[in-house]
Chain A
Amino acid sequence: MTLPDKRTTITNIALFVVMLAAITASLAIGTLQLTPTEVALALAGQADPMTDLVVNQLRLDRTLAGLLTGAALAMAGCLMQTLARNRLATPGIIGIDNAATAFAVASVVGIGVSLAPSTMALTGAAVATALAFGLAGAKGTRGYRFIVAGIGIGAIAGSATQVLLSRVAIDTANAAYPWTVGSLNARSDQSVLVLAVGLGIGYLALMGISRALNTLQFSDPVAIALGTRLRSTRVLGLGLSVLLTGLAVSVCGPVGLIALLAPELARTLCRPGKVPLTASALAGATFMVTADLLGRTLFSPLEVPVGIITAIIGSPYLLWILLRPSQRSPT
């Protein structure tokens, strides 16, 4: 709400500083090791041509893409969790990532479709959401049906991606492969640009409905009693979640679990009772850049797609949430 909230402000500032550190590391570490000072000089345009090329051409683009995708995925996750009132209901679990990927792969592989990946990924995300909604009995985003419907849709979309890949030349499949598990390597400048615009619009729109979103943390009757227009808030929220997820997937593929982990962290740090959208975005951007850095450097020269890194780091945590003896069931 609107009282000055010290805890949230401090959290956001702290997360921002951590994010800056992650950006610096991402720009400095790699085959060419740089010091933070060198990075700063390069950013200011005062470095030698070689450093300038590495920082400003190669790493900066990639880091920027990481920041945008991480922030978009995390916000979409936070939003979806709020709408479903279930911390497990992230776009990845509901199958939206997979569907967006399947559609985008279809366009990359070129099964008679020539739309740009952004549009295709967006279409896929929208189709999956609509399906999950329809199949859950159109009873809204709450409840387990929505999630199970999503698991089914995700399975179908995952197999569809496999079909598409198995139908093309092995080289094409190998080239498309990292992206289908989530990677910042295969991005196009155009889709990054579209994502940047979409993220900006999405963030502003979310700030606009943040008060209504806060009331969705209560049961439906409470939200209605507080004057929230449930349906329009939900439709708008879902739409934004689809937009953010679709555009992010068009850049980095289905990088899982950032949408779960970042809001989880944000919620722990921020003051309860508010949907921590900004903190989620900052945390998500940090996670993405850091995971990508790990993927690039851990087994260098072999590059591990960032989606694999987040799955290996994030899955155990998700399993822990799911399997610990429950005081309160998370579903």
Chain B
Amino acid sequence: MATSARKRVVVSRAFLPPLASAVFLLLLVAIGSLLYGAGPVSPAEALAVLAGGGTDEARFVLMELRLPRTIIGMVTGLALGLAGALLQSMTRNPLAEPGLLGVSAGSGFAVALAILLGATTATLTTLVAQLGALAGCALVIAATRVQGLGNDPVRLVLAGATLSGLLMALTSMLMLVDQRAADEIRFWITGSIAGKPLDMLGATLPSIILALVMIVMVARPLAAMALGEKAAVGLGHHPGRIRLLITLSVALLVGSATALAGPLIFVGLVVPFIARALAGPDIRRTLWLCAPIGPIILLAADIVSRLIAAPAEMPLGVVTALVGAPILLAIVRAGRMPSL
């Protein structure tokens, strides 16, 4: 007992340094994202622009291309990281990731459908993506309520993979119908934050803020849910209401992220995994840490995607898959599946 109490104190004392260093690291990565790119502007030229000088061309590349891309990357990373942490905490399953569980695929299918039907405006796409994510999310929650499944992380992930497969097959169907739409969808489903207009960001920002507000509201009851549903009721919380709020915020977050960047797999797995390792089991601290770590991971992956195959770009979704799959394996290899 004494040791565990002492450990808890150490964790809470050790909480601020990781948070501060994560924020600092985020700053570095954001600057890196402005400096490095596949285009003809060198880091030195980019630095000159940041210092207030630089050529017009460099200024254009930086301000019109890389800056929006960096901002969109940060928002996407934030949204996916938080969504992953929420979903994992609520399902008590360390593998519950929006991408793996088919939430992103649901969102992606909805957008593909919208593209096929001719949707072009950012607001409409975002709304459709969020509806798709909501449907996917509701399915996941319903699935975890099935008796026996909640305690079986792998089965849930398999179900998610199957659902993803089904939705991708349906998306492929859509792509067969219309060649023009097919090209657009194919570009979009690999996942990328390149060349996305900033008005897309404007369309998603309100829902992300709404989601953040809801997260603040449910953070404490959610932490209590970690003790089990009955314990949470005993502490005066309402599990049903918490679940509803979480479902909504995950749907808003994943839908926004998908509208911005396409379905990105594994980000929602990697980010909370790192955050939990640093912050310990309390979901509130995990969420705090996810906020900077999500953008860090996404921007870092994006920088890699620009540089690894320069002058061409590797799709971001591929990079996140390449980074995330080993983490998935690491979680599973860590012996006993950690329960949440």
Interface residue B12 (Cβ < 8 Å from any Cβ of A): no
Interface residue A211 (Cβ < 8 Å from any Cβ of B): no
Interface of B is mostly: helix
Q: Tell whether, in the assembled complex, residue A315 and residue B318 are in contact, meaning their CB atoms are under 8 Å apart.
A: no
Interface residue B23 (Cβ < 8 Å from any Cβ of A): no
Q: For A323, what are the chain B residues with a Cβ–Cβ distance below 8 Å?
A: 143, 146, 149, 159
Q: Tell whether, in the assembled complex, residue A166 and residue B169 are in contact, meaning their CB atoms are under 8 Å apart.
A: no
Q: Tell whether, in the assembled complex, residue B162 and residue A319 are in contact, meaning their CB atoms are under 8 Å apart.
A: yes
Q: Tell whether, in the assembled complex, residue B95 and residue A148 are in contact, meaning their CB atoms are under 8 Å apart.
A: yes
1/0 per position for A292-308, CB-CB distance to B under 8 A? 00000000001011011
Q: Chain A's nearest CB lies how many Å from the CB of B145?
A: 10
Q: Tell whether, in the assembled complex, residue A329 and residue B333 are in contact, meaning their CB atoms are under 8 Å apart.
A: no
Chain A, residue nearest B323 (CB):
A156
The 8 Å CB contact of B165, one of A153, A173, A311, is A311
Q: For A147, what are the chain B residues with a Cβ–Cβ distance below 8 Å?
A: 154, 158
Q: Tell whether, in the assembled complex, residue B155 and residue A166 are in contact, meaning their CB atoms are under 8 Å apart.
A: no
Number of interface residues of A (CB under 8 A): 49
Interface residues on B, range: 35 or more
- Chain B binder among A9-17, A157-165, A197-205, A239-247: A157-165
Given contacts A151-B157, A153-B325, A156-B325, contact A163 B315 (CB under 8 A): yes
Q: Tell whether, in the assembled complex, residue A319 and residue B157 are in contact, meaning their CB atoms are under 8 Å apart.
A: no
Chain B, residue nearest A324 (CB):
B146
Q: Tell whether, in the assembled complex, residue B163 and residue A319 are in contact, meaning their CB atoms are under 8 Å apart.
A: yes
Interface residue B147 (Cβ < 8 Å from any Cβ of A): yes
The 8 Å CB contact of B321, one of A159, A170, A315, A331, is A159
Q: Chain B's nearest CB lies how many Å from the CB of A29?
A: 20
Interface residue A7 (Cβ < 8 Å from any Cβ of B): no
Given contacts A144-B332, A166-B190, contact A331 B166 (CB under 8 A): no
Chain B, residue nearest A330 (CB):
B155
Interface residue A256 (Cβ < 8 Å from any Cβ of B): yes
Q: Tell whether, in the assembled complex, residue A311 and residue B169 are in contact, meaning their CB atoms are under 8 Å apart.
A: yes
Q: Tell whether, in the assembled complex, residue B172 and residue A155 are in contact, meaning their CB atoms are under 8 Å apart.
A: no
The 8 Å CB contact of B169, one of A165, A174, A181, is A181
Q: Tell whether, in the assembled complex, residue A322 and residue B169 are in contact, meaning their CB atoms are under 8 Å apart.
A: no
Interface residue B173 (Cβ < 8 Å from any Cβ of A): yes
Chain A, residue nearest B152 (CB):
A329
Q: For A170, what are the chain B residues with a Cβ–Cβ distance below 8 Å?
A: 183
Interface residue A167 (Cβ < 8 Å from any Cβ of B): yes
Q: Chain B's nearest CB lies how many Å from the CB of A317?
A: 9
The 8 Å CB contact of B182, one of A160, A174, A315, A318, is A174
The 8 Å CB contact of B148, one of A136, A162, A329, is A329
Q: Tell whether, in the assembled complex, residue B158 and residue A181 are in contact, meaning their CB atoms are under 8 Å apart.
A: no
Q: Tell whether, in the assembled complex, residue A159 and residue B322 are in contact, meaning their CB atoms are under 8 Å apart.
A: yes
Q: Tell whether, in the assembled complex, residue A312 and residue B318 are in contact, meaning their CB atoms are under 8 Å apart.
A: no
Q: Tell whether, in the assembled complex, residue A162 and residue B177 are in contact, meaning their CB atoms are under 8 Å apart.
A: no
Q: Tell whether, in the assembled complex, residue A151 and residue B318 are in contact, meaning their CB atoms are under 8 Å apart.
A: no
Q: Chain B's nearest CB lies how many Å from the CB of A168?
A: 11
Interface residue A36 (Cβ < 8 Å from any Cβ of B): no
Given contacts A148-B157, A156-B321, contact A173 B172 (CB under 8 A): no
Q: Tell whether, in the assembled complex, residue A331 and residue B172 are in contact, meaning their CB atoms are under 8 Å apart.
A: no
Interface residue A137 (Cβ < 8 Å from any Cβ of B): yes
Interface residue B314 (Cβ < 8 Å from any Cβ of A): yes
Q: Chain A's nearest CB lies how many Å from the CB of B44?
A: 29
Q: For B168, what are the chain A residues with a Cβ–Cβ distance below 8 Å?
A: 311
Q: Chain B's nearest CB lies how many Å from the CB of A102?
A: 11
Q: For A57, what are the chain B residues with a Cβ–Cβ distance below 8 Å?
A: none
How far apart sit A322 and B318, CA to CA, in the bound complex (Å)?
Answer: 28
How far apart sit A302 and B182, CA to CA, in the bound complex (Å)?
Answer: 15
Interface residue B329 (Cβ < 8 Å from any Cβ of A): yes
Interface residue A273 (Cβ < 8 Å from any Cβ of B): no
Q: For B187, what are the chain A residues with a Cβ–Cβ distance below 8 Å?
A: 166
Interface residue A85 (Cβ < 8 Å from any Cβ of B): no
How far apart sit A273 and B173, CA to CA, in the bound complex (Å)?
Answer: 40
Q: Tell whether, in the assembled complex, residue B176 and residue A152 are in contact, meaning their CB atoms are under 8 Å apart.
A: no
Greatest chain A CB density within 10 A among B162, B176, B190, B337 is at: B162
How far apart sit A147 and B159, CA to CA, in the bound complex (Å)?
Answer: 12
Interface residue A135 (Cβ < 8 Å from any Cβ of B): yes
The 8 Å CB contact of B177, one of A145, A152, A302, is A302
Interface residue B235 (Cβ < 8 Å from any Cβ of A): no
Q: Tell whether, in the assembled complex, residue B158 and residue A93 are in contact, meaning their CB atoms are under 8 Å apart.
A: yes
Q: For A137, what are the chain B residues with a Cβ–Cβ distance below 8 Å?
A: 333
Interface residue B7 (Cβ < 8 Å from any Cβ of A): no
Interface residue A326 (Cβ < 8 Å from any Cβ of B): yes
The 8 Å CB contact of A322, one of B158, B175, B312, is B158
Chain A, residue nearest B159 (CB):
A322
Interface residue A316 (Cβ < 8 Å from any Cβ of B): yes
Given contacts A256-B165, A325-B146, contact A135 B314 (CB under 8 A): no
How far apart sit A156 and B328, CA to CA, in the bound complex (Å)?
Answer: 11
Q: Which of B77-131 contact A (CB under 8 A)?
A: 95, 100
Q: Chain B's nearest CB lies how many Å from the CB of A128?
A: 12
Q: Which of B135-193 contact A (CB under 8 A)?
A: 143, 146-149, 152, 154-155, 157-159, 161-163, 165-166, 168-170, 172-173, 175-177, 179, 182-183, 186-187, 190
Interface residue B266 (Cβ < 8 Å from any Cβ of A): yes
Q: Tell whether, in the assembled complex, residue B318 and residue A159 are in contact, meaning their CB atoms are under 8 Å apart.
A: yes
The 8 Å CB contact of B159, one of A159, A177, A181, A319, is A319
The 8 Å CB contact of B329, one of A148, A325, A326, is A148
Q: Tell whether, in the assembled complex, residue A312 and residue B170 are in contact, meaning their CB atoms are under 8 Å apart.
A: yes
How far apart sit A175 and B175, CA to CA, in the bound complex (Å)?
Answer: 13
Q: Provide a sorted-by-A list of 9 A–B residue pairs whose CB atoms are within 8 angstroms.
A: A93-B158, A152-B326, A166-B187, A174-B179, A181-B172, A307-B169, A312-B166, A324-B146, A325-B146
3 closest cross-chain pairs (CB), A and B: A311-B169, A315-B166, A152-B325
B residues within 8 Å of A by Cβ?
A: 95, 100, 143, 146-149, 152, 154-155, 157-159, 161-163, 165-166, 168-170, 172-173, 175-177, 179, 182-183, 186-187, 190, 265-266, 312, 314-315, 317-318, 321-322, 324-326, 328-329, 332-333, 337
* Additional 4 contacts, C-beta under 8 A, given A151-B161, A159-B317, A322-B158: A136-B333, A148-B329, A160-B318, A308-B169
